[in-house]
Amino acid sequence: MRIDIVTIFPEYFGVLDVSLLGRAREDGILDVQVHDLRAFTHDRHRTVDDKPYGGGAGMVMKPEPWGEALDAILDLDATAGEVDARLPPRDAPLVIFPSPAGEVFTQAMARELSTAGHLVFGCGRYEGIDQRVFEYAGSRASVRLVSLGDYVLNGGEVAVMAMIEAIGRLIPGVIGNPESLVEESHEDGLLEYPSYTKPAEWRGYEVPPVLMGGNHGAIATWRRDAQLERTRLVRPDLLPPE
Ligand code: SAM
C-alpha cells in the first residue's frame, strides 16, 4: 500500500520507522511518503493559514498550498513509473481528511481501508482547512472526512497516526501471526476477553483455573462469557438489542 501524508509537522511521523510498521516499510509492504505542506507555499514566510472570512477566532488553512500538494501527489498516480517495483500497482487513490466533523473511524473502516492501494492523508491544523479544498480533492479522487472520536485534537497528525496503525496492522504480512488479529476487540462486535500469561499466581492474584485446565471447549465458553460480560459492563451500546 502507498500512503502519502501532508502535514506542517513532518517530524510527527518519525515513529513510522519503528516497530511493525517500520519493518513493513523496510519489507516494501508499506510505502509511506510524508510531505511538508509548507514546501508548496511561495512566500518568504511559507504561509499556510489566514484569517477566516466572516470573522471569528483562529486561523484557517489556505487552499493554495493544499491544491498544489494534492496535485503533486495525485499526478504521481498518473505517472506510475515512479512506483516501487516491489509494491502492487496503485489503484484509485482515496484522500482522507481527519476531522472531528467526519464519520467516526471504526475497526470495520480500518479493515475496509486496509485493502486500498493508495491512501492520501491531509492533516488539518488551526481551525481546519478551507472547505473548497475538500471539494477540489473530491473532483480528483474519492474523499472521506474521518473523525477519531467525539473530541477535538490540535491537529490531524495524531489521528492519522492512529488510523495508519489500525489500517497497517491489517495488511497481510505486517503482523507475523494473522490469527492474532481474529480474536481482538471489535472484530466480532464485542470487546476482547481478558488475557493472562505466566506466572499462574502473581502478588496474590490468580489466573482463572479454567484457562490452565487444557479443556478447549471450556476455555472457549469462558472467553465468550467474559467477552459478553465485559461488553455489557463497559460498552453496552455494542450489544444487539434484546
Ligand atoms: N474547528 C474544527 C471543528 O470544530 O470541527 C476543529 C479544528 S482542530 C483544532 C484542527 C485539526 O485537528 C482538524 O482540522 C483535524 O485535522 C484535526 N482533528 C481534531 N479533532 C479531530 C478528531 N476528533 N478526529 C480527527 N481529526 C481531528
Task: Assess whether the C-beta atom of 159 lies below 6 angstroms from ligand 1.
Answer: yes
Check residue 195 and give its pLDDT.
97
CA of 126 to the centre of ligand 1 (A): 8
Question: Counting atoms of ligand 1 from 1, which one is nearest the CA of 154?
Answer: 9
Q: Does the Cβ of 94 fall within 6 Å of ligand 1?
A: no
| Residue 153 beta carbon below 6 angstroms from any ligand 1 atom | yes
Shortest-distance atom of ligand 1 to CA 129: 14
* Smallest CA separation from ligand 1 atom 9, residue: 154
Residue 187: the pLDDT is 83
| pTM for the model | 0.92
pLDDT lower than 50: segments of the chain: 81, 87-88
Q: Is 98 in the pocket of ligand 1 (CB under 6 A)?
A: yes
The reported pLDDT for the residue numbered 97 is 98
Tell me if 8 CB under 6 Å of ligand 1. Answer: no
Q: What does the pLDDT read at residue 176?
A: 85
Distance separating the N- and C-terminal Cα atoms of the chain:
41
Question: The dihedral of CA 147, 149, 151, 152: what is its sign?
Answer: negative
| Minimal-distance CA residue to ligand 1 atom 2 | 127
